[in-house]
Amino acid sequence: MTKPLVAILSGAGISTDSGIPDYRGPNGLWRKDPEAEKLVTYEYYMGDPGIRRRSWRMRRDNRALRAEPNAAHRAVAELERSGVPVRVITQNVDGLHQLGGMPARKVLELHGTARQVVCTDCHARGPMEDALARVEAGEDDPRCLECGGILKSATVMFGERLDPVVVGEALAISKACQVFIAVGSSLQVQPAAGLAGVAADHGARLVIVNAEPTPYDDRADEVIREPIGTALPKLLHRLITESGTPG
């Protein structure tokens, strides 16, 4: 019996149990501090040293890099270990799917990763931890050690293009999967949101797990409003049982 390919699109809501606030929810970061959006906007970041210094302070104080995977991340990894083919497409930059046990090659990070830095000139990459250690040591705007260029988080800032290769892979997975689960995503940010529609158009069973209504709820085969930390493990365990794999 061929096991169905399961695509999981994860948004900020999957990581809130790990202590990482979402951006657009009722208590989201952008609602609390609209100015914070400038810190992750490419034009402001590149053009204003003051914005860069504030950004580095924000990264230094950011709990995301100290966060631990929660029950939902672990449940996704458990599904993969059970033998069900799984691909994760994530809007998150926290790396918690990989820390939770998902093989990195099976995780597509649409918006990049906060665990690395990249030079805007020579494109050299390195660990975020190393750059933050330099900030702790007194550098308020650390530069690239290779060429002296401006360093930024290896995340896709507002005003930057998503990696077309990653987007292409996400699209191919969405077309090929038999089950598409959107979890913790408002499904309002394109192109990620549109993947749910692509999957449904190609015959996938669409399941949405999210606290707030989404624009794709009326296309879903199942909408789950329960807390993600309990709802997702329950749903994925059901998939393991349905696929005939011992869980």
CB 73 within 8 A of CB 97: yes
Residue in 97, 111, 123, 202 annotated catalytic? 111
Pairing of strands 179-183, 151-155: unpaired
The answer to whether 111 is a known catalytic residue is: yes
Q: How far apart are CA 110 and CA 42, in angstroms?
A: 17
Cα(61)–Cα(43) distance, integer angstroms: 23
CA distance 140 to 52: 8
- The CA-based angle 109-86-178, given to 5 degrees, is 110
Q: Is the dihedral of CA 13, 159, 169, 99 positive or negative?
A: negative
Q: Are 108 and 90 in contact (CB under 8 A)?
A: yes
How far, in Å, CA of 90 to CA of 50, rounded?
A: 30
Beta sheet of 179-183, edge-to-edge order? 107-109, 86-90, 6-10, 179-183, 205-209, 222-224
Q: Minimal CA–CA distance to 62: which of 98, 99, 90, 20?
A: 20
**Active site residues per annotation:** 111
